[in-house]
Structure 1
């Protein structure tokens, strides 16, 4: 069975974005980009919620992305992508499928299909839904060395308790710390 892995950037005080949706505090450099390529290489499908999809689709197909990070841009533009949204009418980014059916049912079916892991990038609200249904197999949380003071929390307050087991830690020269966790199955 395929694994569903989430990857999120988070401030030290637990926010995935600033109060106005700002992401300019992410520490991204060459070492991060090497990790991004390695991480994407373990998957064959990318999953997004609507908001993250719109951000990614607005950047990766651009000439700027192709110039700044051609290797990641090539992968992001060619990989199969699934966006979960009840409000989008279409998903035009290359190789993207729009899913409007209940998320838990769709992801359960996807996990049963053959293939590599699936990678859920960002998409905190979608992650929250999948956490409630215990469908996430691994959490990768990259803590950036910044305190935002306010913003949108990565883990939503209504979330049920979920115990995690630390698998490994990777420290980046930028000060980012990547934590790999898996849910404790009882």
Structure 2
């Protein structure tokens, strides 16, 4: 069965974006960007919610030729990576993406059972829909030293707790990575 990872930049007070929806405070330096590039190579399938897909699709396929090497590298990886985009409003997706408008929980169960590699989920709303069903196997939090005071929370309200075990910590120049496995 495939493992599903939810990895996201998060503020110290637990938000993935600020009140205006901005994530400008998560811009990675070269060290962190290279880590994300290397990690992304290991992902078999990337699951995107609509909003994240729209942000990614507006930027990564259209990098200028003078963009930094590390960004061009990720842009190529993102364009080629198989992606499943969950949306009830989009009518088409591009760049090696498949659009799913049906039940996300059932589709993710099917995708997990269809292989033995690693998938990632991107987008707080999509991840929030999967959490109560126990579909996320690992959380990778990239904690930025900023307090936002509001925005989209990393974790939704849940009816029952999710027990985690700390598997790794890693200090980068700009963030602290906390990797947790679901028990």
Task: Quickly name the TM-score band, shorter chain normalised.
Answer: over 0.9
Match 1:89 to one of 91, 97, 107 = 91
Distance 1:66 1:132 in 2: 43
TM-score calculated relative to the size of structure 1: 0.92
Point out 4+ residue stretches in structure 1 off by more than 6 angstroms: none
TM-score calculated relative to the size of structure 2: 0.93
Distance 1:85 1:48 in 2: 9
CA RMSD of aligned residues (A): 1.5
- Counterpart of 1:36? 36
Distance 1:128 1:9 in 2: 15
Gaps of 5+ in 1: none
Count of matched residue pairs: 181
Give matches, 1:17-166, under 5 Å: 17-64=17-64, 67-68=67-68, 69-91=71-93, 93-114=94-115, 116-121=117-122, 123-158=123-158, 160-166=160-166
Residues 119-150 of structure 1: per-residue CA shift (max 9 Å, x gap): 112x1111011111100111111100111122
- Choose 143-152 or 57-66, whichever is displaced more: 57-66
User: How has the CA–CA distance of structure 1 residues 40 and 66 changed in structure 2, closer, same or farther, with 3 Å as cutoff?
Assistant: farther
Gaps of 5+ in 2: none
**SS in structure 2 at match of 1:98:** strand
